[in-house]
Amino acid sequence: MNGLLDEREVRGRRGSDILNTILSVIIVLLVLVIVTLLFFVTPMSVSGQSMYPTYHDGDKVLLTKVLYTVRAGDVIVFKIPGNDSPPIKRVIGLPGDIVFFDVNKMDYTVNGKPLDSFGTDTGYSASYFETSEREVYSALTTTGITVGENEFFVLGDNRNISKDSHVYGCISQDWIVGKVILQY
């Protein structure tokens, strides 16, 4: 009888050890997920139609907040001083690029080359520049805007309704919250 109790006790301890191991793994995984979400990536909901057809109002995206390089065509989220809602826009111009809006062709060029549409074909309405700052409009349509060091020129894919660099000029690299890495 004493041998049976010892065997049951050993099995009980093994079961308890396995349960403790599983709980420990779950706790470690939860901590890793929380740390990752706090410091490395963050989920976000798209607000508005400025990135249509790429992203729709309410779409969910995941941003990386560290270890990324911004390239032309990337979609980023940034904060504008004095604006609580961070916009999501596509990077069109990198530091040193010259961005020009050709009013005759009603399209952008970057360094003299037509802008890749990135899957958009929204065209422009006559009111496209109505909300633009006069200085931005004047520079874009005459000499072009040279993107400064540590700055980016961004546009929404739905250009007619997007408030972006054609309105407020280039954005500072310091304003970037993160780069979109996943839509879910």
pLDDT at 51 (0 to 100): 94
pLDDT at 103 (0 to 100): 83
**Is the link from the previous residue into 53 a cis peptide, with omega within 30 of 0?**
yes
pLDDT at 37 (0 to 100): 77
pLDDT tens column, 41-98? 999 999 999 999 999 999 999 999 988 999 999 999 999 888 888 999 999 999 999 9
Region of poorest pLDDT, from 12-21, 134-143, 151-160: 12-21
Structure tokens belonging to residue 14 = 């093994």
pLDDT above 70 covers a percentage of the chain that reads 89
pLDDT at 76 (0 to 100): 98
* Angular region, 52: left φ>0, alpha ψ -120 to 50, beta rest: beta
Domain range list for the chain: 1-39, 41-183
Instruction: Report pTM.
Output: 0.80
Instruction: Look at the domain 41-183 and name its fold.
Output: Umud Fragment, subunit A (2.10.109)
Greater confidence (163 vs 105) lies with: 163
DSSP of 118-141: TT------TTTTTTS-HHHHHHHH
State the pairing for strand pair 107-110/98-102: antiparallel
Average pLDDT over residues 103-112: 88
